[in-house]
Amino acid sequence: DAGITQSPRHKVTETGTPVTLRCHQTENHRYMYWYRQDPGHGLRLIHYSYGVKDTDKGEVSDGYSVSRSKTEDFLLTLESATSSQTSVYFCAISESRGHSYEQYFGPGTRLTVT
Amino acid sequence: LAKTTQPISMDSYEGQEVNITCSHNNIATNDYITWYQQFPSQGPRFIIQGYKTKVTNEVASLFIPADRKSSTLSLPRVSLSDTAVYYCLVVPSGNTGKLIFGQGTTLQVKP
């Protein structure tokens, strides 16, 4: 399995508090992604990174910010958590190799905003 | 990005071959077709990818007709452990990895 860890794995927080989720990889892959998964919506891309300090928005970026200061770490921040951000968050990594579009996913973080 | 359509759910029995078809009528010339599998409480896992005709690996086969407007994921002799959600994705060549996951097909394998 690809070396991807996410922390924390579970978190309960209150509305209005800031939350930061961490994704750490040991594969030295260039691309990193944050997705959220909700019942009935499949996975939706929040933000992604194509290099250190290079990030871009995905489908559902409102209310989220990201940072990547090192190749191995990609942080997702909810500046002021809302109940609508209760979800399971997955980090993924990939490396551009010709026409290979394989992404490796982490174990997920279950976030509950009360 | 080309939109994909696949059945919401399917049932099968152990030992049977399962075929999941995905429709992607608006696929572009440079798009690739990719399938992922997701078990409960886990992240998705890449299964197979193809551009045309047939691709086979140790897990599945992928059949793509000449017009490429659909594709079929074939799982030989499924077992209970193949119960999962299967996602069909269309990925543009040169894509930076922005995958668009639909609802997927929930496959339930029964004993």
The pLDDT tens digits along chain A (114 residues) read 569 999 999 999 999 999 999 999 999 999 999 999 998 778 899 999 989 999 999 989 999 999 999 999 999 999 999 999 999 999 999 886 666 678 899 999 999 999
Contacts with A41 from chain B: Cβ below 8 Å: 103
Q: What is the pLDDT of residue B41?
A: 87
Cβ burial A49-84 (10 Å sphere, 16+ → b, else e): bbeeeebeebebbeebebebeeebebbbebeebeee
**CB spacing of A107 vs B43 below 8 angstroms:** yes
Q: How far apart, in whole angstroms, are the C-alpha atoms of residue A39 and residue A30?
A: 30
Q: What is the mean pLDDT of chain B?
A: 92
- Best residue in B85, B98, B100, B103 for a mutation probing chain A (most A CBs within 10 Å): B98
Chain A residue numbers with beta carbons less than 8 Å from the beta carbon of B97 are: 31, 33, 48, 50, 94, 96, 101, 103
Using 50, 70 and 90 to split pLDDT, how confident is the model at B91? confident
Report how far residue B73's alpha carbon sits from residue B20's, in angstroms, rounded to the nearest whole number. Answer: 5
Sheet bearing B53-56, strands edge to edge: B18-23, B70-75, B61-64, B53-56
pLDDT value for B1? 66
